[in-house]
Copies of this chain bind each other. A is one copy, B any other.
Amino acid sequence: MRLNLSTDYALRLLMYLGTHPDRLCTIQEVAERFDISRTHLMKVANLLSQRGWVRSVRGKNGGLQLGKAAEAINVGAVVRDTEADFQLVECMGTQGAHCLLDNRCQLKRLLHQATLAFLAHLDAYTLVDLLQPETRQILLESAS
């Protein structure tokens, strides 16, 4: 079972921004800190910006900051935004599905319900829960 790489990067970006609420952070900086693709991270930042999780300030001294308070950034809601879909198996997709059971399959319903259980767990947490002291310390150290 895998999440999109975009979801991974989105949550890391939010954690980084949440650790530095007092200043704007750049894509370059975050990509370097996590040693991840700058291009991919930029796409993720654009998506997060469109959805209001991140605020993007343009210009020479521009950068990113959280778009709302960390306690208002629900992990489940972010994952719903960054996962393109929750088509756990082919038949849950709208395109290219050709299983003979089609819509009369209990498996599809069961996997959908299990996905809701997965998301419901994430719904119980906000960015604040991901920013415990030890994590903050590492992210602050790495930026110094």
Q: Which residues of A contact B (CB under 8 A)?
A: 1-5, 7-8, 11-12, 15, 33-35, 75, 83, 86-91, 98-101, 104-107, 110-111, 113-115, 117-122, 125, 129-132, 134-135, 138-139, 142
Contacts and interface: CB of A to CB of B under 8 A. Distances in A.
A135 B108 CA distance: 12
A12 B106 CA distance: 11
A33 B101 CA distance: 10
Copies in the complex: 2
A100 to B, nearest CB: 6
B89 A8 contact: yes
Contacts of A33: 100
Instruction: Please report whether the interface of chain A is mostly helix, strand, loop or mixed according to DSSP.
Output: helix
Contacts of A7: 89
20 contacts: A1-B1, A1-B86, A1-B115, A3-B111, A5-B90, A7-B89, A8-B91, A15-B107, A33-B100, A34-B100, A35-B98, A35-B100, A75-B110, A101-B139, A104-B138, A106-B129, A114-B118, A114-B121, A115-B118, A117-B117
Contact of A88 (B2, B15, B117, B131): B2
A106 B122 contact: no
A34 B99 CA distance: 6
B120 A117 contact: yes
Given A11-B107, A106-B129, 7 more contacts: A2-B2, A3-B88, A3-B111, A15-B101, A100-B138, A106-B135, A110-B130
